[in-house]
Amino acid sequence: MKTFENISLKEYNTFGIDVKARRMVVLEPGDDLSGKWKEERGKLLVIGAGSNMVFTKDYDGTVLILNGEEVRMDGLFVRAWGGMMMDDLVQWTLDNGLYGMENLSAIPGTVGASAVQNVGAYGAEAKDFIERVEVYDLQERCHCTFSNADCQFAYRDSYFKHHPNRYLILRVTYRLSREFVPNLGYKALEGLPHDTAQQLREAITEVRWQKLPRPEEHGSAGSFFKNPVVDEATYRRLREQYPDMPEAHSVTQPLSYTVTYKLSAGWLIDRAGWKGRVQGRAGVWPKNALVLYNADGCTGDDVRALAKAIQQDVKQKFGVALDPEAIII
Ligand code: EPU
């Protein structure tokens, strides 16, 4: 375990926002979890790779980070350290002849964050593979294990997301397959090479990076907003008004049997005229309106102000509320 005082978080959030934390504790596999830092509950912030966070001010408490790698295979199960980068894990699974997570290639963030966020891309979500999640409960001060059902996964959502900073995700176990069955249902994947899982992974990585800023040039948090889910009447109204709106995925709610529709936030923001615009020192990525980026040394307030302006405009133009996927701190 390493501890740092009064440290810049610039390298610890993918937006590259330069704020400071009063203290940072870095845990690695094998570290014992005893220590005074746990007494700071209420002033503890657990961050993964910081790929989904916007810091608007210095953090007057302890930031907790899991670092390092540890991964083990047991038949079809892969148990990985929460601080491992998700993309490294996807490569590791392919190197070891286990398939399924190819479509989650190049997702920024850690294994732990994959469970909090239920990360997803190209028709696959972390929840499709997660078997169990081992955590340290910072409130009850004990280790415990969540099954997939306990995690209450939904679109970019989980039980952990509703209990921020209570659980430190130490290890996640995924169940994979020995057989490579390419999952090409998603439109953007049409025509990609898929003779091998590695080939598909590389092609998906390329598709993803075409739509995102290169991190060494501009910081961002990937998709900034969630795709909004609307009722049938709203969907029909928009479909009539905007025949060019992309096909929405319909979802039947399990208890009420009502049908809802997941719209494309990127399209709404684009259609509202925001693509490529810069406000303050934050901007809307010219190749993907769902991505806000650090145009030139932005602050968290620049990002927050831009996000708010977009939300208001989209609400006014389409009557649809956008929720950030990124967490503003
Ligand atoms: N679109 C536009 N203009 C834009 C952006 C998108 O018209 O500027 C349209 C596209 O043409 C398409 C539709 O909007 O018809 C949807 O876009 P896309 O297929 O790129 O996917 P998305 O719904 O915007 C989601 C995830 C991404 C994931 C992709 C691919 C969310 C919030 N985002 O984006 O996840 O990579 O699907 O599966 O669910 C992330 O969470 O950080 C992330 C990148």
Mean pLDDT score, 117-128:
94
Q: Is the pLDDT of residue 294 over 90?
A: yes
> Do 324 and 225 sit in the same domain of this protein?
yes
Judge if the beta carbon of residue 86 lies within 6 A of ligand 1.
no
Under a CB-based contact definition with an 8 Å cutoff, are residues 2 and 25 in contact?
A: yes
> Do 260 and 324 sit in the same domain of this protein?
yes
Summary mean pLDDT of the chain: 93
Residue 156's nearest CA partner among 327, 325, 329 is 325
> Do 296 and 247 sit in the same domain of this protein?
yes
Q: Does residue 31 fall inside a structural domain?
A: no
- How confident is the model at residue 308, as a pLDDT? 97
- How confident is the model at residue 106, as a pLDDT? 92
- How confident is the model at residue 132, as a pLDDT? 98
Q: Does residue 255 fall inside a structural domain?
A: yes
Judge if the beta carbon of residue 70 lies within 6 A of ligand 1.
no
Q: Does residue 266 fall inside a structural domain?
A: yes
> Do 319 and 227 sit in the same domain of this protein?
yes
> Do 156 and 190 sit in the same domain of this protein?
yes
Q: Does residue 39 fall inside a structural domain?
A: no
* CATH number of the domain within which 294 lies: 3.90.78.10
What residue numbers bound the domain in which 179 lies?
A: 71-207
Mean pLDDT score, 217-231:
94
Atom of ligand 1 nearest to the CA of 226: 32
Q: What is the pLDDT of residues 24-83, one digit of tens each?
A: 999 999 888 776 666 665 688 989 888 889 999 999 999 999 999 999 999 999 999 999
Atom of ligand 1 nearest to the CA of 120: 35
Burial letters 274-296, b for 16+ CB under 10 A, else e: bbebebbebbbbeebbbbbbbbe
Output the CA 240–ligand 1 centroid distance in Å.
22
- Active-site positions read 156, 223, 325
- How confident is the model at residue 38, as a pLDDT? 65
> Do 222 and 148 sit in the same domain of this protein?
no
CA distances from 32 to 1, 143, 278 (A): 8, 12, 46
As for how many domains the chain has, the answer is 2
> Do 201 and 247 sit in the same domain of this protein?
no
Q: Does residue 48 fall inside a structural domain?
A: no
Q: Which of 157, 190, 207 is the last residue of a domain?
A: 207
Q: Which of 159, 183, 207 is the last residue of a domain?
A: 207
- How confident is the model at residue 227, as a pLDDT? 95
> Do 190 and 246 sit in the same domain of this protein?
no
Q: Does residue 30 fall inside a structural domain?
A: no
Most ligand 1 atoms within 8 A of CB, residue of 290, 293, 323 to mutate: 290
